Amino acid sequence: MSLYFLPDYPSRDFLAMAFNVDGEGNIPAIYSSLALLFSSLLLGAIAHVKNLDSDRYKQHWKILSFIFLYLSLDEAGQLHEKFIDPMRSLLKATGVLYFTWIVPIGFLVAIFLFSYSKFLFHLPVSTKKLFVAATALYIGGAMGMEMPGGYLASTTGAENVSYVIVTTIEESLEMLGIVVFIHALISYIKTYVGGVSWNIYIPGKHSQVTAHQNIGVPALSEAANTNLLR
When pLDDT is averaged across residues 9-31 and rounded to a whole number, the result is 88
Of 78-82, 142-146, 190-194, give the lowest mean pLDDT range: 78-82
Tens-digit pLDDT profile for residues 99-148: 666 777 788 899 999 999 999 999 999 999 999 999 999 998 888 888 88
Instruction: Output 150 or 186, whichever has higher pLDDT.
Output: 186
Using CB atoms within 10 Å of the CB of residue 102, give its burial: 0 to 12 exposed, 13 to 18 middle, 19+ buried: buried
Centre a 10 Å sphere on the Cβ of residue 109 and count the other Cβ atoms it contains.
15
Residue scoring higher pLDDT (4 or 170): 170
Whether the full predicted model's pTM is greater than 0.85, yes or no, is: no
DSSP 217: P
* Sequence ranges of the domains in the chain: 2-193, 194-230
Q: What is the mean pLDDT of the chain?
A: 81
How does residue 93 score in pLDDT terms, banded at 50, 70 and 90?
A: low
Helices (H), 10-79: 12-19, 27-52, 58-77
Within 10 Å of residue 157's Cβ, how many Cβ atoms?
Answer: 10
Q: What's the farthest any 2 CA atoms get from each other in the chain?
A: 70
Length of the chain in terms of residues written = 230
Q: pLDDT over 90 for what percent of the chain?
A: 40
Q: What is the mean pLDDT of residues 55-74?
A: 93
DSSP state of 144: I
The candidate with the shortest Cα–Cα distance to 91, out of 111, 113, 106, is 106
CB 163: neighbour CB atoms within 10 A? 20
